[in-house]
Amino acid sequence: MEDCIFCRIAAGEMDADIVHSDERVVAFRDINPQAPVHVLVIPRKHLRSAFDLEGEDGDLLLHLFKVIRKVSEDEGIAGTGVRILTNVERGAGQSVFHLHFHVLGGRQMLWPPG
């Protein structure tokens, strides 16, 4: 998807503050952070949202969560509290249509979310 900004970040064609990169997953800091730690974890594979995941993506989904845990540990928030979320479609707040998990921490998270 050449018009997808997260595909471009994953391909190294667009700058980002990358905190993790491997053959299947990239993690980088959100450009508009909502908490002291706000990292986006994405698959290199272009999927529009979590609802595009299929059975063949089971290993990828597990790997995404392993990276989320590693990033949380590296950022020092794994033990204090981590909000992991993904928005699906505009009504939920999705603005970039490439599957990504927000990893937030470093402050008290509130509930309900806005």
Which are the catalytic amino acids? 100
Q: Which residue reads 């981590």 in tokens?
A: 82
Q: Determine if 108 is a binding residue for ligand AMP (CB under 6 A).
A: no
Q: In 17-45, which positions are buried (b, 16+ CB within 10 angstroms) versus exposed (e)?
A: eebeeeeebbbbbbeeeebebbbbbbbbe
Q: Which of 55, 95, 108, 112 forms a contact with ligand AMP (CB under 6 A)?
A: 95
The identity of residue 83, as a single letter, is: R
In angstroms, what is the minimal distance from the CB of 12 to ligand AMP?
A: 13
Q: How far apart are CA 61 and CA 57, in angstroms?
A: 6
Shortest Cβ distance from residue 57 to ligand AMP (Å)? 19
Contact between 81 and ligand AMP per CB under 6 A: no
**52 scored as a contact of ligand AMP (CB under 6 A):** no
d(CA 15, CA 89): 25
3-state secondary structure of 108: coil
- Residue 53 binds ligand AMP, judged by CB under 6 A: no
Report if residue 87 touches ligand AMP, rule: CB under 6 A.
yes
Q: Which listed residue (7, 30, 48, 65) binds ligand AMP by CB under 6 A? A: 30
Name the residues that contact ligand AMP, by CB under 6 A. Answer: 5, 16, 28, 30-32, 40, 87, 93-96
